[in-house]
Structure 1
Amino acid sequence: MDAGPFTTSSSHAKLARISPFAVVYTSSPQLATSHSVRRIPFVTEDMPLKIERHRTAIKRPSFSLPVKCMLRDGLLDKSKTLFDYGCGHGRDLDLLESMEVKCAGWDPTFRPTAEVKRAEIVNLSYVLNVIEDISERSQALRRAWSLCDGLLTVAAQIEFAAPDKEQAKFGDGVLTSRQTFQKYYTQHELRLYLESELGEDAISAAPGVFYIFKDEKAKQQFIASRYHRRILVPRRRISEVLFEENQDVLEPFMDCLTQYGRIPAAEELEQTEEIIARFGSLNRAFKLIQKVTDASPWEEIAQKRTEDLLVYLALSRFKKRPQLQQLPVTIQHDVKAFLGGYKIACGRADALLFRVGDPDAIDKACQRATTGQLVDNALILHRSSLDCLEPLLRIYEGCARALVGEIDEANVIKLHRFSGKVSYVAYPDFDKLPHPPLRQRIKVSLPTLSIDFFDYSNWQDPPLLFRKDELLQIDHPKAKLFRSLTKQEAKLGLLPAPDARELESVWAMRLQKAELSMRGHRLVKKRHSD
């Protein structure tokens, strides 16, 4: 099979005569902004250039971000086949082969003689951003799309990943000192480019990473799964002989009831015929289950699944909402069972979505929240608490996630109450350190569809996080431990104000002045010999 237009690792190009200045955005958190603006002179003489594309290939110690995303989201496993179109050194392929995933790849420099073939999943990883010819870039994307049977994953460099140094403008990108070309997209720009070229929705997986599905039902199932909360199966309260005698079919039935929040359709439960044969109907079997577990947990599960469905339907409005018959059969059953019909369901979902744009509604929802730390301008919570929020706030955060994708490093989420912004904040070792340092912050602005990145990883004196317990659900395994530290610090008058960004050096001076030191998650009197 022909490799298509993406066939050489370098090409010749010529610098055009253009304006003497350009705007280049570079990351610089020390300036307290996500990007600083530099004006740099262009080369103004016509001269031939050889773009060394192969120099952009990186030898990674682990999976690339797009492959990590597919593994995380359950889209790639041993049952799938993957083709890496522009695989570079092939590290992803080596690691996937060690997991017994059927995969192959082609690269114009490192695997030029490999067969280019179809696969269920095609990965186009950091290829588009190194092709300086706009027409060839488009052809490479379309070629990758033609090779995939189910899913195309595309990754490209985005603006806040640009290095903090001057780079010369070249075409619609920049020319690096290594004679390579880089096109830095904004997240929104990359999405629009993929959708305009392929005519399909591009789903954000992470910053700079998108999924494009061939099958509408598979796409909708994936989107719905993002908002389907994990719920534990209710425990049995009493013993019942009939239940014990039929435990082999009733326990799988309970799992299914928990997953769907309703009586499953025949095709959704493997044991349907056997249960009907023993009890006469699924409803009769469910009554027995309610007897041994109580009815209230199942009512709560049904309510949560109704909310999950509304969140999904609201966020599906971002693009053209699918028709009922385009939805997976399971979701069609959900619509009928929980909301009575698709028109009613969409109406309720739209009402919630439109309220997301109302700062007053968001503010009141933040004030009603039973989890998280409420400060003057935001509700701040640990990502594990997100599922406890009411549907309006879940949709608010879902709008931001639909733009930026999943940010695996972020474990704290800040829902701004008035500005239409959502921040994703990374505090490494949140569980381990009493006051973890801030590493990075990504702020998503819904009104402008912009994303700002703040990197603190090189700060010698980073801000610390306090009052960790207030970000967690009350029944979180670590909440009690964290709460005891907060109380101790408050009692000693050492606790900074909520949402205060106290630097590590300031905290160290506080402890020194009080003659205290940290021992795990508690304060102890400092010994004079220390």
Structure 2
Amino acid sequence: MENEENFQEKRCSELLLYLALNIEDFQILPKIKLETDLPQTIIDGIRKYFLTYQSACEYANQIFLEIYKSGAIKKYCQQSKIGKKLPTAFYIHISALGQLHPLLQLYENLAHRLYLKATSQQKADAKTTTLIKFNFDKPTISYLYYPDFDTDPHPALKTSISINMNSGNLEYRNYHNSKNPPVLHRKETFVNTDYPHYKKFAKLTSAEVKLGLLDNTRLIGTRQGWLTHLKNYGIEIKDHRVIQHTIEIPIPKIERHKAAIVRKKISKPVRLGLEANLFTEGTTFFDYGCGHGGDIKHIAQKGYQSAGWDPYYSPDNSCIAADVVNLGYVINVIESLAERREALIKAWGLTKQVLIVSAMVLINDEKTKNKLAYGDGIITSRNTFQKYYEQEELKSYIDQVLNVDSIPIDLGIFLVFKDEKQGQNFRASRLKTRLSTPRINSKNQKFVDYEEQLIPLMNFMSDRGRLPVRGEIAEEADLIAEFGSFRRAFRVILQATDSVEWDQITDKRRQDLLVYLALTKFGNRPKFSQLAEVVRNDIKALFGSYTQGCTLADLMLFSLGDSELISKCCKNSSIGYKFSNSLLVHVSAVAKLDPLLRLYEGCANRTIGRLNEATIIKFHTKLPIISYLFYPDFDTEAHPVLHTSMHIDLRDLSVSYQSYTNEYNPPILHRKDALVTPDYPDYEKFAKLTQQEEDRGLLNNFKNIQNRIAWLKCLEENCTEIKGHRVYWQTNVDPYRLKILKSAHATRKRERKKQL
């Protein structure tokens, strides 16, 4: 009986779809072919299931018109008994398409006409479809091709074609050569129960769910993320079966204590914690795996209660809870997966406020030469184990083990906040632009009389871009008693300062918040109640509501997909040095860039982390890549040498590094003044140097002077030497040659002055 009902339902859907697809397009009252124009089998079906042709046409017309109603696609997708339902999309296997509601079949069929037209111009493999994706947040259908859907437990996406139903525009993506393509999970949800491999798919998912492998979906959406996830669990998936590696493999005796370093200075993770203002009056510190105890001594010397434990050097010390806990370069020296995980969990258990986790990250292959590879790490000549992580791999490991969203603050260094509100407040604070309080340009008598009382209010306004609410500043009682309200007190401030400068501060703070809210989209965006109170007050004052702020932020985030817009922002930027395919900006000036460029860089910074020593940030305009460049002598050398570069590809978050420390002919930097803003401490010195070099024609052929040897040759040819940030003529050179160069130099100076 049930099979008969299913057959009848399917037959009705097929008939309605047939009629709807024969509706003449673009008519207010859609018309369908005459009954006599239809095949006899269709006529018989209509009479059997709808009694009359008119009744069937009314149903078909209703479906055709309803697909254009707002929310109709989402409604019928969510009501479907098969298919994978996500908050913003619905996925169905091509074999199950006929099981969907006629409205969805009609919608897909209309898209399919555009799809066939488009794929005739694409490669042959783009004509193959495995899954169909119905998008809820935009009128788009996507055709996804997973060639190994049946055979691979977690197949990789090969091609994707997305069709905008409103504009007819198509977007084609090929992941064939991607090192980190998207992968599928829970394959049984895409197909019907009668699909040949349904039971095998469902059994695999059940096993993965029991082990918690699918709990944190944010970490497992790509091939590298999924493989790292399995590795962290000590699990392998083979032939749709889960294999747990529980057998102990004999290994060399690892002497972990030899990895401990005797530190004369504070370690970098703890130093960055201090610089990030994690330590305030009364903060307690515990170093889990403290080694020789160097950090404990340094923190104690700064006046904080400090303790630590180490299994070799301090095994009798008690493990006590503390506000700040450091797990510094510990997990990378533990060869056992289970013990490594246990160490991270124990350190987290001792944490009251924030855990600092650090591990060695793989910068380049030179560090691993002449060493024996073992497991997922390396056994060094000192017989110590070293697990070298990739940056994204380390973040994934911390997040998966602790079920958190860790914050990268440098290569291999992450913060994990116990209180999510504190973590969100920290993220927001890192995106705040440093602004100065508007100058007092009028000695208004009333302002002069109350200046001392008004300074705290001015400082708060400069910091938050808004007036305080009750309880936000210590001087509230005095201000209210004297002026009646914060707003009235601010009116007095306006009598002595420029209102335009205050408006600029408010606008800048609004931009800071937009970038922060947009970046929360990449993780689990917090509820309004999960934000720190001061951030909630900022949002209410600057946007009116959290919903409005998030909407504006999402629109800005969505615009990042427009590569031409990014390129335009780079070309129009008043800050930075522009090349044909990139924009270079000093880190001190990033906060003053267009909000879209700040968000562009923030996408890399939030997930991977910014190279802490980074001096210059490079925005690529042809490819979605952000580069961090480290010039250690940027301030002191006229033309500093590039030390290290890190490149983040935003398409798959792959990271590549390059060190130039042993390079004979490394890249060097020119026009430093263009990279910073005029308020940079050495701006005038940089600008004067550039002007002198331009007057001598040293920068005329820029492509030929980007490396040290070529630059030195250029200086030699122009009888020039640079000392400090000043340009001098060389002595002991051909007088005639020098005379010609000086004449050209004088001519350039005259031409420049004419243009002023």
The equivalent of 2:693 in structure 1 is: 489
SS of 1:249 mapped into structure 2: helix
Counterpart of 1:116 (choices 301, 319, 341) is: 319
In the alignment, which of 380, 389, 396 is matched to residue 584 of structure 2?
Answer: 380
Instruction: Please list the CA deviations of residues 154-211 of structure 1 after superposition, one character each: whole Å capped at 9, or x if unmatched.
Output: 1111121661413333222222222221211111111111111111111111111111
Aligned residue in 1 for 2:437: 233
Distance 1:57 1:233 in 2: 47
- The answer as to 2:301 corresponding to 1:98 is yes
TM-score by length of 1: 0.88
Q: Which residue of 2 aligns with 1:89?
A: 292
Provide the TM-score with structure 2 as the length reference.
0.62
Distance change >3 Å, CA 394–CA 239, structure 1 → 2: same
CA contact (8 A) 2:285 2:325 kept: yes
d(CA) in 1 for partners of 2:586, 2:620? 14
Q: Which residue of 2 aligns with 1:309?
A: 513
Which of 399, 410, 413 matches 2:614? 410
Q: Secondary structure at the match of 2:474?
A: coil
Assess, with a 3 A threshold, how the Cα gap between structure 1 residues 193 and 408 changes in structure 2: closer, same or farther.
closer
Question: Is 1:151 paired with 2:373?
Answer: no
Alpha carbons 1:124, 1:155 under 8 Å: kept: yes
Determine if contact 2:378/2:385 at 8 Å carries over to the other structure: yes
Counterpart-to-counterpart distance in 1, 2:406 and 2:624? 23
Structure 2 residue aligned with 1:508: 712
State the alpha-carbon separation in 2 of the partners of residues 500 and 198 from structure 1. 51
> Secondary structure of 2:578's partner?
strand
How far 1:77 sits from its partner (Å)?
4.1
Q: What do the CA deviations read for 1:292-332 (whole angstroms, capped 9, x no partner)?
A: 10211111111011101101111111210111111111111
Letter paired with 1:243: F
Aligned pair partner of 1:242 in 446, 449, 455: 446
1:120, CA displacement in angstroms?
1.1
| 1:195 corresponding residue in structure 2 | 399
The match for 2:371 is: 167
Structure 1 segment 75-474 matched on structure 2, within 5 A: 75-160=278-363, 163-474=367-678
Query: For residues 335-385 of structure 1, what are the alpha-carbon distances to aligned partners after superposition, in whole Å with 9 as ceiling and x for unaligned?
Result: 111111111110111111122233112111111211001111111011111
Pick aligned residue for 2:721 from 512, 517, 520: 517
| SS of structure 1 residue aligned to 2:641 | coil
Counterparts of 1:86 and 1:500, CA distance in 2? 51
Q: Kindly provide the CA deviation profile for residues 418-448 of structure 1, in whole angstroms up to 9, marking residues without a partner as x.
A: 2111111111221221111111111111112
Amino acid across the alignment from 1:185 = Y
Query: What is the SS of the residue equivalent to 1:301?
Result: helix
Equivalent-residue separation in structure 1 for 2:280 and 2:484 (angstroms) = 39
8 Å CA contact retained: 2:409, 2:612: no
* 2:275 is aligned with 1:72: yes
Can you give the 5+ residue segments of structure 2 that lack an aligned partner in the other structure? 1-248, 735-756
Sequence identity, in percent? Answer: 40
Secondary structure of 1:441's aligned partner: strand
**Runs (5+) with no aligned partner, structure 1:** 1-45
Tell me the distance in 1 between the aligned counterparts of 2:313 and 2:701. Answer: 55
CA contact (8 A) 1:128 1:137 kept: yes
When Rg is computed on C-alpha atoms for both structures, the one with the higher figure is 2
Q: Is the 8 A contact 1:377 1:416 kept in 2?
A: yes
CA contact (8 A) 1:444 1:451 kept: yes
Q: What secondary structure does 1:442 align onto?
A: strand
Instruction: Give distance in 1, aligned partners of 2:464 and 2:657.
Output: 38
2:262: which partner in 1? 59
Cα root mean square deviation, aligned: 1.8
Say which structure is richer in helix: 2
Residues in 2 aligned to 1:497 and 1:306: alpha-carbon distance in whole angstroms: 42
Inter-partner Cα distance in structure 1 for 2:703 and 2:645: 14
**Would the alpha carbon gap of residues 228 and 500 (structure 1) be closer, same or farther in structure 2, given more than 3 Å must change?**
farther
**Change over 3 Å in CA distance of 1:105–1:484 after alignment to 2:** same
1:9 alignment counterpart: none
- Asked which structure has the greater RCO (Cα within 8 Å, sep 6+), the reply is 1
| Distance 1:488-1:165 versus aligned 2 partners, 3 A rule | same
Cα displacement (A) at 1:501: 5.9
The answer (yes or no) to whether the contact 1:228–1:308 under 8 Å persists in 2 is yes
CA shift at 1:496, angstroms? 5.7
Q: Residues of 2 paired with 1:347 and 1:464: CA distance? A: 43
Aligned residues: 485
Change in Cα spacing, 1:201 to 1:290, as seen in structure 2 (3 Å) is same
